[in-house]
Structure formats: structure tokens, C-alpha cells
């Protein structure tokens, strides 16, 4: 009886924290390829699921999606390892990872795939301004979270590099990191604002300067203008 009450309390506490809210599945569709086998042996379904969960918790923290009302209504995220080109992509609550990429990667595979999964998981949770947010900013926010999680790969550009603020990926990630240093929580607020739509004016609203001015300031700070 006491055990049952304890179990119930643990369940209740977990439910209140939202830790029971999301389920994860891993489906390896590439086991007939060397990349699929490498995924099974070097990463494994259990580690992948743990990583998807850690990524979710981390993203909710960085994006300050503290309450369920702040988040998308996603109960389940499915990871597929597929025999395909590229690295990975996300469509709604499905993440597809390339077994060919896993096969060809030289370096610390586990760290790299963890970083890739963090990036893809951001796409599950971030808002896209009802489709109005530029893709460079979408990808920049995903890599910003990866940067904050310390999973930025060594081949990324350094802070201050790049041609345009919305170039995407590592370039935009470092720029967003600069913006967030001007006002802590900026990226979280920007994401919240993108629940309904997007305009470059959001930078003015949140930081008091146009995004072009901010990019100029950023380049000047690093002496890369
Ligand atoms: Zn992406």
C-alpha cells in the first residue's frame, strides 16, 4: 500500500514537471547498410532516446518554455535512421537522420550526432512565425541552442564571421549569441514573439536597434566589418 502511494506521488511529481509529457521512439530503417549498423553499435536506441529527452529539457530551458502553454502540443517525437543523403531533417515531430552521414563521419561520432539531434529537436519546439520567419533565422536559432549546449563542432565559423545576419546556421547562431549578451533571454523572447508571426521589427522592439545596425555593431565588436 505504502509502495503504491509512493509510486503515485512519484508519478504525480513527474507529471507536474512535464517529464511524462513526451515519448520518444527510435526506428532504424538502415540496418542493411553500414551506416545503420554503425548507428546501432556506436550510438544505440537507448542513448538516442536519452539524448532526445535531454535535448527537449535543454531547449525548454533556453527558450524559456517553462509551462506546457508555452510549448507546441507534441506528445511524441519519432527518430528515424534512414538510408539517405544529407545530414538530417525534421518534419513536425519526426526527425530523420542520415545513415550515410553516420557512416562517413570521422571524428567523435557520438558527440557529433548528439549535436545534430539537439539542432533537429529545436525544430520540433521552436515557433516559425506562421511560416514568415526567414529560414536563416530558423536554422540560426537551432544552432544557437546547439552552441549553448556546448555541442558546436570545431569546423564552425568563429564569432564575428559571416556576410549577413540571416546567413543561417553557425553564422546566425553566433550573432544571436551576441544579441542575447545585450539582453539576457533575447532569443527566448524572439522565439515567443514568433508564435504569431515575424518581422525584422522584432529586433527593434526587443533591443532598440534595427537588425542591420545590430549586425554592424556585432561586426565592429569583433573587428570583422
Ligand atoms: Zn535545421
Q: What is the pLDDT of residue 14?
A: 55
Do the strands 94-98 and 88-91 form a parallel or antiparallel pair, or are they unpaired? antiparallel
Interval between CA 33 and ligand 1 midpoint (Å): 25
For residue 185, CA distances in Å to 17, 60, 180, 198, 212 come to: 21, 12, 6, 18, 20
Closest CA to 149 of 157, 141, 160: 141
Interval between CA 98 and ligand 1 midpoint (Å): 13
The rounded Cα 85 to chain-centroid distance in angstroms is 21
Beta carbons within 8 Å of 215's beta carbon, 6+ residues apart: 164, 165, 175
Q: What is the pLDDT of residues 140-167, one digit of tens each?
A: 999 999 999 999 999 999 999 999 999 9
Check: CATH 1.10.390.10 for 21-125? yes
Interval between CA 168 and ligand 1 midpoint (Å): 9
pTM surpassing 0.85? yes
Burial profile 111-148: b = 16 or more Cβ within 10 angstroms, e = fewer:
ebbbbbbbbbbbbbbbbbbeeebbebbbbbbbbbbbbb
Interval between CA 88 and ligand 1 midpoint (Å): 8
- In whole angstroms, what is the distance from residue 98 CA to residue 160 CA? 31
Interval between CA 120 and ligand 1 midpoint (Å): 6
User: At residue 94, what are phi and psi to the nearest 5 degrees?
Assistant: -120, 125
Determine the 3-state secondary structure of 27 from DSSP: strand
Domain boundaries, the chain: 21-125, 131-225
Average pLDDT, the chain: 94
Q: What is the pLDDT of residue 225?
A: 83
Mean pLDDT of 200-221: 98
Interval between CA 118 and ligand 1 midpoint (Å): 10
pLDDT at 20 over 70: no
CA angle (119, 110, 181) in 5-degree steps: 40
Which run of H or E residues covers position 128? Answer: none
Interval between CA 121 and ligand 1 midpoint (Å): 9
Interval between CA 69 and ligand 1 midpoint (Å): 24
Q: What is the pLDDT of residue 184?
A: 98
Interval between CA 36 and ligand 1 midpoint (Å): 21
| Residues comprising the chain, all counted | 225
Cell readout for 75 is: 506528445
Interval between CA 5 and ligand 1 midpoint (Å): 44
Beta carbons within 8 Å of 29's beta carbon, 6+ residues apart: 36, 80, 81, 82, 83
* CA max distance for the chain: 69
Interval between CA 47 and ligand 1 midpoint (Å): 21
Amino acid at each position: 500500500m505504502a509502495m503504491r502511494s509512493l509510486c503515485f506521488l512519484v508519478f504525480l511529481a513527474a507529471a507536474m514537471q512535464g517529464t511524462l509529457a513526451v515519448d520518444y521512439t527510435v526506428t532504424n530503417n538502415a540496418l542493411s547498410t553500414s551506416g545503420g549498423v554503425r548507428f546501432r553499435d556506436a550510438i544505440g536506441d537507448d542513448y538516442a532516446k536519452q539524448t532526445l529527452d535531454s535535448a527537449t529539457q535543454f531547449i525548454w530551458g533556453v527558450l524559456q518554455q517553462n509551462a506546457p502553454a508555452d510549448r507546441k502540443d507534441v506528445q511524441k517525437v519519432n527518430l528515424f535512421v534512414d538510408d539517405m543523403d544529407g545530414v538530417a531533417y525534421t518534419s513536425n515531430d519526426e526527425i530523420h537522420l542520415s545513415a550515410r552521414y553516420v557512416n562517413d563521419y570521422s571524428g567523435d561520432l557520438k558527440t557529433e550526432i548528439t549535436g545534430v539531434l539537439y539542432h533537429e529537436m529545436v525544430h520540433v519546439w521552436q515557433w516559425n512565425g506562421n511560416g514568415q520567419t526567414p529560414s536563416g533565422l530558423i536554422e540560426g536559432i537551432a544552432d544557437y541552442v546547439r552552441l549553448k549546449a556546448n555541442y558546436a563542432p570545431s569546423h564552425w565559423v568563429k564569432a564575428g564571421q559571416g556576410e549577413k545576419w540571416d546567413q543561417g546556421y553557425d553564422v546566425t547562431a553566433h550573432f544571436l549569441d551576441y544579441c542575447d549578451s545585450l539582453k539576457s533571454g533575447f532569443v527566448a523572447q524572439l522565439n515567443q514573439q514568433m508564435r504569431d508571426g515575424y518581422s525584422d521589427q522584432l529586433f527593434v522592439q526587443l533591443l532598440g536597434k534595427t537588425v542591420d545596425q545590430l549586425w554592424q555593431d556585432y561586426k565592429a565588436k569583433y573587428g570583422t566589418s
